[in-house]
Structure formats: structure tokens, C-alpha cells
Amino acid sequence: MSTNLDASLASDTLLAAARRALGIEARAVTALESRLDERFAEACRACLACAGRVVVTGIGKSGHIARKIAATLASTGTPAFFLHPAEAGHGDIGTITRADVALALSNSGETPELLLLVPHLKRLGVPLITMTGKPHSTLARVATVVLDVSVPEEACPLNLAPTASTTAALAMGDALAVALLEARGFTAQDFARSHPGGALGRRLLLRVEDIMRSGADLPRVRPEAPLGEGLLEMSRKGLGMTVVVDGEERVLGVFTDGDLRRALDRQIDVHSSVMREVMTASCKTIGPRELAAAAIHLMEKHRITALPVVEEGRLVGAFNVHDLLRAGVL
């Protein structure tokens, strides 16, 4: 390409190529939906009945996709691992047991390294699920279940580099993992136990009671308290809101920065108004043993930045987005 090419023309060319590639891959994934039939259900049942692990294998670009599918299965309740087919022929084939299920990925269905595994799988009686772009290939003919992931064309303009075909295989792998996840009744708590490290693990394992403020750090006022007292409480506790409670600590409402702006818009008398007149009565609350992830979802859904924590109708804590940030869950 000439270095003197007009910059806008170069951008147009690049963007057009990218849009074409995305369009081809999107159509390849969409086409998979019409192919979901009893064979897919049979593949799911084979995995659900597996007393061992799902052995996912493939080589080249299919091998990269196979690794990802194995990781997704393992993290969503289906024990799985990736087996490199070339290494299998040099001793690693011993990792496959009679209790396992094999999932082999090959776009051509003629990958020699995968075909060499077939006799061993047959001797052990291991079910073989195949994802292939050639449903009449050698690998498809010897498989227990065939999942057709064929594509009419690759996104590569030469129709050579595995692009749309690998995307289709990856999407089918995700569909299999999700179907198994739902069939097993896999929960957010189960997912958390598989992801204990990093921000994701903290977000899923941490509970509201682990991050909330309580005791003297908890902003609260009575409904008959003057507005000025509520503002001082907000300022002292630094939560961006104060909870309005009755004599038995039952939550009656909250007062936030937004409530103050709305009160000023109504031109209320700051000196004579009391909290019950300016608070938001129908406020959102959460329980102390709810997951931090549930709190984040609630706050995002209702566009709020702080939440009171209530147990048996009584105030026990409160927290805001800064507390979530400090805990590393946001």
C-alpha cells in the first residue's frame, strides 16, 4: 500500500473490511440456531451422564478454541480438561478413562492426530462428540454425536484463514456449556467457588455484611429531626445519604443529595422543614447476607449510589459505591 494514500480513504477501506468480516461471522453464528436439534440434546445428555470429565481436544486453531471450551465447561459446573492430540500419542492418552466423554473439534473432520485417538476411545467405550464443518467426514462417521458447525465462507478474503469457522465452533461450545449449566441448576454461588481469585471472585464471594458500615459509622436520623440535622449527619458520616428510622430502627426512608436538590427546587424552608417532609419513603434496601454482586445489580438497575441494609425490617448497616470500590468488587 502506498504511504501517500489519502488518510480518509485508508480508513474507509479498513472499516469496510472489518464490517465485512463481522457480518460474515455474525451470519455464521446465527445459522447455528437452526441446526440445534436432537443431536445437540444427545450431546448434552452424554455430558450430564458423564461420571468423569469431558476431554476436549483439537489441534491448530481448533485447538485454541478447544482450550477455551474446556475452560468454560470447567468453570460452569462440567468437569473438563484440554488434551493436545499430538501429546496424546506420546503418553497423555492415558489421561482418558472409561468414565469420560470426548469432545473433538476439527473443521475438516480429517485431522490425523484426532483420528489416531478414535481406536483408543472405542476400546474404552468413551462417547465421542464431534464439532466439525464437514458432517460427512471420517471423524463425523465414527462419532457418537455430530454437531455441525460448518460455515459457507471464512471472513478471510482468501477464504483460507480459520475465522468464521472458529467463531462458529466457539459459539457452539458456549451453547453447550450454557445448556449444561442450566440443566445442572448451577448457581452464582457455584460460579463463585470456581472463581475465588481476582475481582470476579471477590464480587461473587463477598456479601453485603462484609462491606457495609454499621454502628457509629451508620448515618441515621428520626423523621421529626430538622432538615439541618439530617444534612449534618450526611456530612459527618460521608455516605452521601442518611437513613430515616423510627424509634425501633425500622427504615422509613432515605435522604440523599438528590432529595436535597429536589427539596430546594420546591423552595422549601430549610430551617423549618423536618426529615419526613423531604425524605424518599419508598427506598430500596438489601439484606446483609446478599452477595455484593446482587447489590451492584440493584444499584445499577435503579441508578442509586448508596443502600441501607435491613434485617427483619430494622436497619443494620449501609454502604455506597465507594465502599464497593474499596472492597474491589466494582
The CATH number of whichever domain residue 300 belongs to comes to 3.10.580.10
pLDDT of residue 1: 45
Parallel, antiparallel, or unpaired: how do β-strands 251-256 and 241-245 relate? antiparallel
| Through-space distance between the first and last CA atoms of the chain, rounded to whole angstroms | 45
pLDDT of residue 191: 72
Domain membership of residue 171 (yes or no) is yes
Which of the 8 DSSP states describes residue 206?
A: -
pLDDT tens digit sequence for 247-268: 999 999 999 988 898 988 888 8
Q: Do 181 and 251 have their domain in common?
A: no
Average pLDDT, the chain: 91
- Tell me what the mean pLDDT of segment 93-110 comes to: 96
- At 161, the amino acid letter reads A
pLDDT tens digit sequence for 217-242: 999 999 999 999 999 999 999 999 99
Name the percent of the chain lying above pLDDT 70.
92
- pLDDT reading at 203 higher than 90: no
d(CA 2, CA 33): 43
d(CA 154, CA 301): 39
How many other CB atoms sit within 10 Å of the CB of residue 305? 15
Closest residue by Cα to residue 260 from 235, 292, 289, 296: 235
- pLDDT reading at 147 higher than 80: yes
Domain membership of residue 198 (yes or no) is no
pLDDT of residue 84: 96
Helices assigned H by DSSP within the chain: 7-32, 38-49, 61-75, 85-88, 112-115, 118-124, 138-142, 164-184, 188-194, 198-205, 208-211, 227-237, 257-265, 275-278, 292-302, 321-326
**CB contact set of 123 (below 8 Å; sequence gap of 6+):** none
Confidence tier at 199 by pLDDT (50, 70, 90):
low
Are 36 and 44 spatial neighbours (Cβ–Cβ below 8 Å)? no
Q: Do 59 and 127 have their domain in common?
A: yes
Domain membership of residue 195 (yes or no) is no
- Tell me what the mean pLDDT of segment 139-167 comes to: 95
- 21-35, 161-175, 199-213, 297-311: segment of lowest average pLDDT: 199-213
Per the structure, the complete domain to which residue 42 belongs is given by: 8-186
pLDDT tens digit sequence for 41-86: 999 999 999 999 999 999 999 999 999 999 999 989 999 999 999 9
- Number of domains forming the structure of the chain: 2
- pLDDT reading at 187 higher than 90: no
- Tell me what the mean pLDDT of segment 20-25 comes to: 97
For residue 134, give the 3-state DSSP assignment: coil
Are 34 and 138 spatial neighbours (Cβ–Cβ below 8 Å)? no
